[in-house]
Amino acid sequence: MSEVSSTQLELNPSARKVLEKRYLKKDEQGRVIEDPESLFRRVAKSVASVERNYGKSDADISGTENRFYDLMTSFKFLPNSPTLMNAGRRLGQLSACFVLPVEDSMESIFEAVKNAALIHKSGGGTGFSFSNLRPSGDIVGSTKGVSSGPISFMTVFDSATEAIKQGGTRRGANMGILRVDHPDILDFISAKDNNSRLNNFNLSVALTDVFMKAIEKDEEYDLINPHNDKCVRRLKARDVFHLIVNNAWKNGEPGVIFMDRINQCNPTPALGQIESTNPCGEQPLLPYESCNLGSINLSRFVSEQAGMQGSTEEASKRIDWDALRETVRLSVHFLDNVIEINKYPLEKIENATKGNRKIGLGVMGWADMLIQLGIPYNSVDASNLANEVMKFIQTESKKQSSFLAVERGVFPNFDESIYTDETAVRNATTTTIAPTGTLSIIAGCSSGIEPLFAVSFIRNVMEGTKLYEVNPHFERIAKERGFWSKELIEKIAEQGSLKDISEVPDDIKKAFITAHDISPLDHVRMQAAFQKHVDNAVSKTVNFPHDASSKDVEDVYMLAYGLGCKGLTVYRDGSREEQVLSTGKSESSSDTAEFEKLLKDSVATGKITPRKRPDVIKGTTRVMKTGCGNLYVTINEDEEGNLFELFTQMGKAGGCASSQAEAIGRLVSLAFRSNIEPIEIEKQLKGISCHSPAWAAGGKIASCSDAISKSIERYVERGNKSNGSGNGSHPKKETAIYGACPDCGGAVEHEGGCAVCRDCGFTKCS
């Protein structure tokens, strides 16, 4: 190890795993050569070195370095991931968020593709507005050819992003935005009907005030060709809005961004209108701007008092406001320094970023703070406290930015018509609430302003080995109040929520409410409460149960607009072909013995004669992650498309698990050849549990039997619908997997338009 620190940080196993895999320095053989303490010292030293630019002494610089180190190692604040990864290293690119312009020319389009590749390679994510591109079918004057439109060019960006992959530490991520009045808007809204394309993009529709008023009045609105500003068509606003809603209901996209509201808050309107945001939507930026983000861990600012309170007034007394003020001010100082030390991927980005000096200080650990205070997430008291806490952070961040303006100067694009001498600031913006993904894993707290996803869940340690991860506040309270047990934790991990756990007292259930126990409208109200005191925007996912209707989605969009939000991301549980994460048991409780008896009895009576194997047979093999290791399931069908046989291979495992899987395969094959409908086989095997479940594509794999059931289900789902004869279907091309972490197979949860693995820190967003 290099630069080994004398102190040892207290990190939980997940935090250490994430740091080792994604943040700590490695040698050319991929071996870790840095410990966590050295990482934070490296970052603190690099960021503090900026003080020399302002005439500070070596003693002052050393003092600032120590304050920055303590700030991070206390986990009161962490900067965005590129800063942790790259500060003090050769690459030196410290920003997470970038926006690149895309103008209506081949030169501009492919310049943007090239620049995006450079940004992705350096660890950043990119946002684009494609609203300036002429629509498909439009005549190109220079060549008299026909334009292919924005969506076709988006696939070029998507392919370039796929090719980068950023060395395995951070993946390229994009935001694609199209104005609702663009002529190609209908195709854009439906662009992700096919999950095999644009997988490196989040999509959002830029909604205008004109469009929202047209919805309210049930009127038509104009589609404008950006090439000549002429109206080419009129559409009924409610029809377009319903298409947006229905697609979001189906698979979570597109999101919506209220672009006029964003520009009402544009701190530098003289420089132009904001047209795009970063990949998760919380950071609106002008072309070539970047932003440096960081998050305060609110769970660290609750004073130690026995018992759980329950009112906003009591909660306010228990928050250590003095410590929070000190942390806000030091964090703003830290982020302003990052702008100076940053090595920008393009000169244009450096000029735009230093011209406005935007920073985005946000929060994480909000759900933990509420739990410590005994305030239910979905209560009025919680919304009131959110308003109070964020107003305090906003006010103190402005005071510190004003102090830095006196010491170092205002940002160069400072507009005296907007700011006065009394309100002069160093940074055009100071607050943003971003997804905290891996940062919250490192800090050991809840993500962003999201509620808990689960009180307890199963964490991958290594293939075939699982550990139960429990919210530390719940563990402490359960032990204090005497209802802690291993069996209880296993039960909670299976359910995900405390809702139906009779052993847990009602007051604890209210405090430890999870994302799927909260109504979508309450999700929006919490987002709106924070947005009131945030310069930029708030990244948050509004979770819906699987049985939610499209009208439910419509209602939250309208509420978000009415309450002053700047955008919204929704996710309905199980809405994508491959489920990201669902909790709860299967309705089926049948076991293997019952299934075997059914088959044996039917064959023994002579009522069914299994079909003989033909000379030619075809099929596919799917790998399924199970608690016993990788299970390879081969399903074959005959020439008429009927499912015929199923084989299993247990990877490196052997013994009992392998023999049982083989036995199930033989019995399933017998059922196929006896014309038993696959759905009946699925029902018998589905949900059978063993002591070692796993999280994989499609959600939880409860056992090898359950894995075989899911393999059959997916084979049939991807085939053409049966015409009523036989039991089979022809396989279709595989689509993108959303159901599990592609790195470790662990559980993946939605957060602010992003998917994050709590096991290894994988995130689909930069």
- The residues assigned a catalytic role are 278, 280, 282
Both tokens assigned to 698:
């499609």
For the chain, counts of helices (H) and of strands (E): 25, 25
CB 204 within 8 A of CB 177: yes
Q: Rounded to an integer, what distance in angstroms lies between the CA atom of residue 213 and that of residue 194?
A: 31
- 3-class secondary structure for 120-151? HHHCCEEEEECCCCCCCCCEECCCCEECCCHH
CB 448 within 8 A of CB 366: yes
CB 550 within 8 A of CB 587: no
CB 93 within 8 A of CB 123: yes
User: Which residue, chain included where needed, has tokens 């909260």?
Assistant: 518
Residue 614 has, within 13 A of its CA and on its CB side, a CA count of 13
User: Which residue, chain included where needed, has tokens 């935001």?
Assistant: 175
Rounded to the nearest 5°, which phi and psi values hold at 198? 55, 35
The Cβ of residue 230 has, within 10 Å, a number of other Cβ atoms equal to: 10
- C-beta contacts of 686-690 below 8 A and 24+ residues apart: 686/586, 686/588, 686/710, 686/713, 687/585, 687/586, 687/587, 687/588, 687/589, 687/590, 688/588, 688/590, 688/591, 688/592, 689/585, 690/627
Local structure of 650: helix, strand or coil = coil
The Cβ of residue 167 has, within 10 Å, a number of other Cβ atoms equal to: 9
754-757 and 748-751 beta bridge pairing: antiparallel
Give the helix/strand (H/E) hosting 104.
none
Both tokens assigned to 575:
């809405």
290-297 and 97-99 beta bridge pairing: antiparallel
Helical H runs in 237-298? 237-251, 259-264
Local structure of 644: helix, strand or coil = strand
Distance of CA 326 to the CA centre of its chain: 30
Name residue 756's amino acid.
Answer: V
